[in-house]
Amino acid sequence: MSIVVVGSVFYDTIETPHGRAERQLGGSATHFALAASFFAPVRMVAAVGDDFGADALAVHRARGVDLEGVQRRAGTTGRWTGRYHEDMNVRDTLDLDLGVFADFQPELPPSYRTAEYLFLGNIDPTLQENVLEQLARPAVVAADTMNHWIDNARPALEKLLRRVQILLINDEEARLLSGEHNLVRAARRILGMGPSSVLIKRGEYGVIHFSGDSVFAVPAFPLEDVFDPTGAGDAFAGGFLGSLARAGALGERNVRQAIVYGSVMGSFIVEDFGFERLSRLEAEDVERRYRQFLALTEVA
Ligand code: AMP
Q: What is the mean pLDDT of residues 125-146?
A: 97
- pLDDT per residue as tens digits for the range 28-84: 999 999 999 999 999 999 999 999 999 999 999 999 999 999 999 999 999 999 999
172: domain CATH number is 3.40.1190.20
Nearest CA residue ID for atom 16, ligand 1? 80
Torsion of CA 114, 115, 119, 120, to 10 degrees: -10
Domain of 249, in residue numbers: 3-296
User: Cα(88)–Cα(132) distance, rounded to whole angstroms?
Assistant: 33
Q: Which atom of ligand 1 is nearest to the CA of 234?
A: 3
- Ligand 1 center to residue 296 CA distance, Å? 30
- Ligand 1 center to residue 148 CA distance, Å? 10
pLDDT number for residue 300: 84
List of residues 6+ apart from 78 with CB closer than 8 A: 8, 9, 10, 11, 27, 49, 96, 97, 98, 99, 100, 101
Write down the pTM of the prediction: 0.97
pLDDT number for residue 18: 87
- pLDDT per residue as tens digits for the range 251-264: 999 999 999 999 99
Residue 265 in this model has a pLDDT that exceeds 90: yes
Nearest CA residue ID for atom 18, ligand 1? 123
Whether 168 is in the pocket of ligand 1, judged by its Cβ within 6 Å, is: no
In angstroms, the Cα distances linking 26 to 55, 123, 184, 273 are 14, 13, 31, 10
Give the angle subtended at the CA of 246 by the CAs of 238 and 228, to the nearest 5°. 20
- pLDDT per residue as tens digits for the range 189-231: 999 999 999 999 999 999 999 999 999 999 999 999 899 999 9
Total number of domains in the chain: 1
* Residue ranges of E strands in 133-206: 140-144, 166-170, 197-201
